[in-house]
Amino acid sequence: MARDITRYERNLMKDMDHWFDSFFNTRKVPSVDIREGKDSYTVRASLAGYNEDAIKVYVEDHILHISGEEKEENREKDKENKKYIVKERKVTSFERSFSLPEDADEEKLEARYAKGILSIEIPKKVKAEPKKIEVRIN
């Protein structure tokens, strides 16, 4: 005969699940692809579910930083003035960092976000052509 679990047991199981998740750090880090082309580098990150204003992209000390934070908002209107006993909110955040190659022109970096994909285009610095100097020998 199966018995119903008590509120205490249910809360204990919930607390243990929360502890287990936080202990093993189960937050997800977005997947990133980095490609090198003839004139630029392209970084693409899968950020489905993030709002554009929650994503930050910047370069510091020749390191590209990508970060984001998304908070789950409860959009319900409390018309009956009910009091919550427990209300958990989900916060998801990440940060990724990548060293840029020496020929990356970080001043001309461009980023776009569409359909859950962040695309960052980093042009390569224009290489100076070798200067030929003709030397006359008498």
pLDDT digits (tens, 9 = 90+) for 9-37: 766 776 676 666 555 555 567 889 999 99
- C-alpha–C-alpha distance, residues 24 and 75, integer Å: 30
Q: Any bridge partners for residue 97, and if so which?
A: 65
Whether the pTM exceeds 0.95: the reply is no
Report the range of poorest mean pLDDT among 12-16, 77-81, 106-110, 130-134.
77-81
Q: Find the DSSP H helices in 3-128.
A: 7-23
Q: Which residue has the tokens 């392209």?
A: 42
- List the Cα angle 119/124/129 in 5-degree steps: 160
